[in-house]
Amino acid sequence: MSYFLKRTENNLWHGKFSTFPDDIVTHAVSTRQGGVSHAPFDGLNLALHVGDKAENVIANRKKFAQSLGFDIADIVTPNQVHGEKIFRVDELYRGRGSTNYADSIPETDALITDTPELPLMLCFADCVPIFFVDVDNRAIGLAHGGWRGTFKKIAAKTLLKMSDEFGTRPENCLIGIAPSIGACCYEVGGEVVSKCKEIFPANVDELLTERDGKISLDLWRANVVQLLEVGALAENIDVAGECTCCNDGWYFSYRAAHQKNLDRTGRIAAFIALKADV
Ligand SMILES: [Zn+2]
């Protein structure tokens, strides 16, 4: 496990994987500390579609991008729909969705690129962010895996798409599974349980745990399992192991908010950009 939090010069926090080489990529998971949004989006809400004031989200995005050495106008972000579409972006897409939600890459849950200095950003509140770094071919990816995306195997499909597009060898790709809801807090209902059994028949025992008659799902492991199936190596997959619901002072958590009778909350972001090859 190599995930750690680092305070930035402009008083934000970056969650980082120490396994990702700093000379190849700039990356971070945001936290909710240090932003300007008010409850229930307090404070660094980075999503435009959750009911927060756009001006506050844009101020937060500016500050977050700046903390990573970028301008808000560089960011590319999609409209996430719990699907399995993976989209390759390049210079033509710079800025898409950065300040206007309607302009986001439509209905897409993973972005990949080999364009340097083009930051990919996706938003999360309990769903699993999955980062991909292919050092050999200088390519990156970022995927959104809630239970639907995880069961559609979007993580595995993103890795295979990087293989098709960039020549990424799954066994060499570095992968990071960022903070998201852990099995500790992720009780699921009958529909999710039966889908899990259908999609991961060989892994039911490690993915589903029964306690006091309630069943919880390990989404982190479900993503690891599908990545191993397509050739990623266990030693290259880093699981942050941090539950957003247990740590909702640090991260936005849909489930933690719901338990507090809040019908809305903000979103953290996962952010990654390739550095220029100098
Ligand atoms: Zn938890």
Quick one: what percent of the chain has pLDDT higher than 90?
A: 97
CA distance 127 to 124: 6
Global pTM reads: 0.98
Domain limits for position 115: 3-274
Q: What is the mean pLDDT of the chain?
A: 97
Total domains in the chain come to 1
Q: How confident is the model at residue 278 (pLDDT cuts 50, 70, 90)?
A: confident
Instruction: Return the structure tokens found at 11.
Output: 């008083």
Average pLDDT of 192-199? 98
Q: How confident is the model at residue 205 (pLDDT cuts 50, 70, 90)?
A: very high
> Strand order in 139-145's β-sheet?
86-88, 110-113, 139-145, 128-134, 174-177, 237-239
Whole-number Å distance, alpha carbon 62 to ligand 1 midpoint, is 30
Quick one: what percent of the chain has pLDDT higher than 70?
A: 100
Average pLDDT of 12-39? 97
From 117-121, 153-157, 211-215, 241-245, the region with the lowest mean pLDDT: 211-215
Q: Is the pLDDT of residue 124 over 80?
A: yes
Whole-number Å distance, alpha carbon 278 to ligand 1 midpoint, is 42
Instruction: Residue 234: give its domain's CATH number.
Output: 3.60.140.10
Whole-number Å distance, alpha carbon 96 to ligand 1 midpoint, is 33
CA distance 29 to 31: 7
Whole-number Å distance, alpha carbon 182 to ligand 1 midpoint, is 5
Q: Where are the alpha helices (DSSP H) in 200-253?
A: 204-207, 219-229
Average pLDDT of 229-236? 98
Say what the pLDDT of residue 1 is.
Answer: 63
Q: Is the pLDDT of residue 85 over 80?
A: yes
